Structure 1
Amino acid sequence: MRAIRHVLIAVPAHDEAELLPRCIASIGAARQPAQRAGMSVDVVIVLDDCTDDSAAQVKSSRVEGLRVEHIRANSVGAARAHGIRRGLAASMAPPEATWIACTDADSEVPPNWIISQVALANRGADLVIGTVRPDPTDLSAEQIVAWQATRNLDHPNGHVHGANLGMRAQSYLAAGGFGRDRVHEDVNLVARIRALPAITVVASAEADVLTSGRRDARAPDGYARYLHRDLLRETREPVL
């Protein structure tokens, strides 16, 4: 298995002017140690049917080398797929030496996010399923307690989140990439990658991603629905 020498980060955004600057700044910070380790890192921001100031926020960012794409699909799956397709087309690195790292515009990645995923890849991982934690400022005290009660913070839970997901480009392409799903595009892709022969999947809690816990979700039936509808129900209902 070839060592990773190029990383492609794709970020879908739909009306994320408020949170997008935080996301971009965190990616910029995570890119620095990866570049010092000799990797090239490309970042593609896909603005999908945005009607707010998301484009201006990207333009005013102090992070250099961002590629911006505009589409009107109103689909997080289509936005991720578009960004990855454009990024791979612009790269000279072969798919077997390229790592695709995915996060969301309402999320903040830690400084070790890229190097953690790549280290796992270089030890044999084809797919890395990372963990996320909701922004506590978006939750009530009861929700915070409930979330903590359902999570072992020392171990990965293996839940699939597009906000913290990574894969070798060769595996991504073999699985057909992201579909045009408006929700669960991450879960569906992971299922297809898992079905490929000789695939190594690693669940990791080495680099938690902070993600929004807001109520006004951009994707239907996504993480916001879980936090604000299913989480308390999960902890309140008795186990039979």
Structure 2
Amino acid sequence: MTGVECVDGLSAHDFSPERTGIDEVYVVVPARNEEATIAASLAAIDRSVRALGDEAPPVRVIVVLDRCTDGTAELARASGAECVVSTIGRVGGARRVGIEHALAASVRRGDTPLDRIWIANTDADSTVPVTWLLHHLHRARSGCDALVGIVSPRAEDLTSGELVVWKARHSFGRDHEHVFGANLGVRASAYEAVGGFENIATGEDVRLVEALDASGANVHRGQTQPVHTSGRRLGRAPEGFADYLSTLDDVACDSR
């Protein structure tokens, strides 16, 4: 792991299947007309995969091409990602399709128990830090069933006033209640036990975490390793993250 800072002082050897209890990792990325950002998103994921080192479990990167009409598919395939085509048009359904596709291959082989598969979720307009998957596997190694990670909108996409409001609303303490599909990991056994992502347009990430909490799963609220997200105001999901960011400007203006 030359040039990469380990998580919590652990070395690459600590992220082997024997140490983490994870034999396979899926990274699932729903995408709908994201040709402007998909290449950077997948390049960041690739850096995070390489940072795991040679002893880490294999990682499959799965892009769900959900009703794409631009060049997203070509860019995703050129990156080497595994691509699945979806006509659902809802982010919850797209995430579900990607995970079902990945799990189906493991079930056919029949050699990997669900509790030894980790599903890391992010978005096609987001870039993960190089230590992102290290952080996820560290939490799996500690016995967590899910990691509710944090995000940070790219500072250049927000005004100074919006950035102040964002930071005031998102201190990300130990018991923070924020949930972001762009940084959410879950053990496959826990995911399946609660029925997985719902096929809905918005809030599938929150609903999944609520179900995990209710089931008694060991859910960790992350405080570090933020995924950088787009600060765009025209999003793909109704009442989703882009719409939420639009409210920051209203609050910033009211405080002037």
Is the TM value for this pair above 0.5? yes
User: What is the CA distance between 1:84 and its match in structure 2?
Assistant: 0.4
Deviates more, 1:172-181 or 1:226-235: 226-235
Q: Distance in 2 between matches of 1:124 and 1:231?
A: 40
Shift of 1:233: 2.6
Name the counterpart of 1:104: 123
Going from structure 1 to structure 2, the CA distance change for 1:154 and 1:176 (only over 3 Å counts) comes to closer
CA shift for structure 1 position 232: 4.2
**Which of structure 1's runs of 4+ aligned residues deviate more than 2 A?**
33-38, 148-158, 230-237
Partner of 1:89: 104
RMSD: 2.1
More helix by share: 2
Structure richer in strand, relative to its length: 1
**TM-score, L = length of structure 1:** 0.90
Residue identity opposite 1:211 in structure 2: T
Which consecutive residues of structure 1, in runs of 5 or more, have no partner in the other structure? none
Secondary structure in structure 1 of the residue aligned to 2:149? strand
Quote the offset at 1:35 in angstroms: 4.6
Q: Secondary structure of the equivalent of 2:196?
A: coil
1:187 aligned partner: 206
Matching residue of 1:225: 243
Structure 2 residue runs without a partner (length 5+): 1-18
User: 2:70: which partner in 1?
Assistant: 52
- Give 2:183's match in structure 1, choosing from 164, 168, 180: 164
What is the number of residues matched between the two proteins? 233
Corresponding letter in the other structure for 2:183: N
Secondary structure class of the residue paired with 1:176: coil
Deviation track 1:132-157 (CA, whole Å, cap 9, x = no partner) reads 00012221222122222333367673
Partner AA of 1:123 in structure 2: S
Question: How far apart are the structure 2 equivalents of 1:48 and 1:55?
Answer: 10
Cα deviation code 1:94-135 (max 9, x no counterpart): 211010100000000011111111111111111110000001
1 CA distance for matches of 2:175 and 2:166? 14
Inter-partner Cα distance in structure 1 for 2:174 and 2:215: 26
